[in-house]
């Protein structure tokens, strides 16, 4: 089922999401809805807070990598790379954001296994972007304060 994407200003986007103890039927249902919503909105990833669910569930579908999982962690970061980033929570706004071009990460997959892997390029960027959502961080928070304030003023109109 396609769910509504929460927009900038919705309190769920600024909260710490709950850790997922295990991926059961409820979590699989949420991940299925997230997948449908991500495809409908032409995204390369989605986190549960973006559909109003304050759980550390995420999807990445970028750079030939597909991940459906929970509790994303970053173990190691590579060199920073600046690339354009946006979010369906803040439609129509994209800005260059500096993030590691390569990461070693860990997450709980849908079978309940802990996976540790290396991601590069857009897959690493999407993983980090979705992980940020679990901590109430939006891509705007990576901008210089003056840039962030200018965008926030335009969003408040």
C-alpha torsion angle, residues 11, 13, 18, 20 (rounded to 10): 140
- Residue 12 to residue 84: CA distance in whole angstroms: 24
Is 130 among the residues known to form the active site?
yes
| Residue pair 132/46 in contact by the 8 Å Cβ criterion | no
Q: Which of 113, 118, 130, 156 is catalytic?
A: 130
Q: Which helix (H) or strand (E) holds 46?
A: strand 45-47
Q: Which helix (H) or strand (E) holds 70?
A: strand 65-77
Strand partners, 119: 103
| Residue pair 78/99 in contact by the 8 Å Cβ criterion | no
- Residues with catalytic annotation? 130
């Amino acid at each position: 089922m396609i769910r509504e994407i929460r927009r900038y200003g919705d309190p769920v986007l600024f909260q710490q999401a709950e850790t997922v103890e295990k991926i059961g039927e409820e979590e699989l249902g949420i991940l299925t809805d997230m997948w449908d919503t991500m495809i409908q909105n032409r995204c390369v990833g989605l986190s549960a807070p973006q559909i109003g669910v304050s759980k550390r569930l995420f999807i990445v579908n970028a750079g030939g990598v597909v991940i459906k999982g929970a509790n994303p962690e970053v173990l190691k970061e590579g060199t920073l790379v600046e690339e354009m980033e946006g979010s369906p929570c803040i439609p129509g706004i994209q800005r260059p954001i500096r993030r590691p071009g390569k990461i070693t990460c860990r997450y709980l997959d849908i079978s309940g296994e802990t996976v540790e892997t290396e991601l590069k390029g857009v897959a690493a960027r999407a993983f980090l972007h979705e992980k940020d959502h679990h901590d109430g961080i939006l891509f705007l928070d990576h901008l210089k304060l003056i840039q962030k304030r200018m965008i926030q003023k335009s969003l408040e109109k």
